[in-house]
């Protein structure tokens, strides 16, 4: 068998773990802080190439927003009724830094994304010790947008989370 050609164009778009990149919004120009927000996420609707795909991994851009956040940060996939379909993973708030870093959440069980499903970062709201999730309005994707949760979900139109998704295409 010949050696693997790392520049083979057939491999472009495939992550090192064999998953295919489904979505990438990596122009970061701001962030959503969890001072009064307990969830931040990206919603996908019919027309998005991600609807119908099996999502197995999400990468968010997260930092310490203020103070010293404690506890667990969870990445979930929520359906249109706001029920958790799949927990992609967790991390400890103590692992965050003062600058934005990409954090990966992976569950190879995966979930087939449906209309109005959200990929979320969840951490209890705290006005003193909070996290910030990177986002951008520089080049928002069609059929998707950032949402944030206070007592209910609210859309931040024209803004996308800094987010990469991987899995199996539809």
Give domain status of residue 13, yes or no.
no
Give domain status of residue 12, yes or no.
no
Q: How many domains does the chain have?
A: 1
Give domain status of residue 15, yes or no.
no
Domain boundaries, position 136: 20-116+128-168
CA distances from 27 to 61, 91, 140, 159, 163 (A): 10, 23, 9, 11, 9
Radius of gyration of the chain (CA): 16
List 135's β-bridge partners, or say none. 30, 161
Give domain status of residue 6, yes or no.
no
Q: What is the DSSP string of 63-105?
A: EEEES---SEEEEEEE-TTS-EEEEEEEEEGGG--SS-EEEEE
Dist. CA 21–CA 106, nearest whole Å: 13
Tokens of 62: 């997260």
Which pLDDT tens digits describe the chain residue by residue (170 residues)?
444 444 343 444 555 578 999 999 998 788 888 888 999 999 999 999 999 999 999 999 999 999 999 999 999 999 999 999 999 999 999 999 999 999 999 999 999 999 999 999 999 888 899 999 999 988 889 999 999 999 999 999 999 999 999 999 99
Query: How many CA atoms lie within 13 Å of 151's alpha carbon, on the beta-carbon side?
Result: 0
CA distances from 61 to 4, 12, 29, 77 (A): 31, 22, 11, 17
pTM of the model as a whole: 0.88
Give domain status of residue 102, yes or no.
yes
Give domain status of residue 1, yes or no.
no
């Amino acid at each position: 068998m010949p050696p693997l050609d790392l520049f083979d164009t057939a491999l472009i778009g495939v992550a090192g773990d064999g998953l295919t990149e489904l979505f990438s919004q990596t122009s970061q120009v701001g962030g959503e802080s969890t001072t009064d927000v307990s969830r931040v996420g990206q919603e996908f609707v019919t027309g998005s190439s991600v609807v119908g795909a099996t999502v197995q991994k999400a990468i968010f851009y997260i930092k310490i927003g203020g103070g010293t956040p404690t506890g667990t940060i969870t990445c979930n996939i929520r359906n249109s009724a706001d029920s958790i379909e799949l927990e992609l993973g967790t991390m400890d708030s103590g692992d965050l830094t003062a600058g934005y870093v990409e954090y990966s959440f992976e569950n190879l069980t995966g979930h087939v994304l449906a209309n109005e499903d959200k990929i979320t970062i969840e951490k209890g709201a705290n006005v003193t010790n909070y996290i910030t999730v990177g986002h951008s309005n520089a080049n928002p994707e069609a059929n998707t947008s950032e949402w944030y949760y206070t007592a209910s979900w609210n859309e931040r139109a024209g803004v996308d989370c800094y987010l990469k998704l991987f899995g199996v295409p539809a």
